[in-house]
Amino acid sequence: MKVIYLTGFMGAGKSTIGVELAKLLNCPVIDTDEAIVKKEKRLIPEIFEQEGEKYFRNIESQVLKELPKGDCVVTTGGGLVVASENREYMKQNGIVIYLQADFHSLYKRIQHDPNRPLARNHSYDKLKTLLAERKYLYQEADYIINTDDQEPFQIAEEIAKLV
């Protein structure tokens, strides 16, 4: 089985859906953010504060390329798609699924999460603009799945049927 990469904005449900999908496909799920924390031995907000976003994005790209090349589900950070090399890498090495959701739904899910430095440090309007800037990058995915008004297991079942 090819790697299944779940992409999308913060709060789209990548981590939750990834766990459900991995159960259905009987394979491991790997979260790029968790892999970064393990590699760096510090939390993502700390990396952002101490090193900045550019450093974090470089580590994110490195970690992506160090992950297994098959038989797993990979849940990506919301900004991983910003680097064209990451989008190309995922397309060449697996199936890319964009988990799309309405901005208002996303914002409700992320607004009080202390583990999301971009959400914590940006206003509603700034986050909405950030999504608009990234949306076309997410849409380069092989499949687009809307996560509004669906339970994670339903979305996982839909993805499993596609792949």
DSSP-based three-state secondary structure for 31? strand
Residue 134 marked ligand-binding: yes
Residue 65 marked ligand-binding: no
Taking the mean position of all CA atoms in its chain, how far away is CA 27? 18
Helices vs. strands in the chain: H and E counts, helices first: 9, 5
Residue 69 marked ligand-binding: no
Task: Considering only CA atoms, give the Rg of the chain.
Answer: 15
Task: Decide: residue 12, CB within 10 A, 0-12 exposed, 13-18 middle, 19+ buried.
Answer: buried
- Beta strands across the sheet bearing 143-146: 29-31, 73-75, 3-7, 94-100, 143-146
Residue 70 marked ligand-binding: no
Residue 15 marked ligand-binding: yes
Residue 120 marked ligand-binding: no
Residue 32 marked ligand-binding: no
Taking the mean position of all CA atoms in its chain, how far away is CA 114? 17
Residue 111 marked ligand-binding: no
Cα separation of 126 and 31, whole Å? Answer: 26
Residue 12 marked ligand-binding: yes
Residue 42 marked ligand-binding: no
Residue 57 marked ligand-binding: yes
Residue 141 marked ligand-binding: no
Question: Which residues are annotated as part of the binding site?
Answer: 11-16, 33, 57, 78, 116, 134, 150
Question: Which residues are annotated as part of the binding site for ATP?
Answer: 11-16, 116, 150
Question: Which residues are annotated as part of the binding site for substrate?
Answer: 33, 57, 78, 134
Question: Which residues are annotated as part of the binding site for Mg(2+)?
Answer: 15
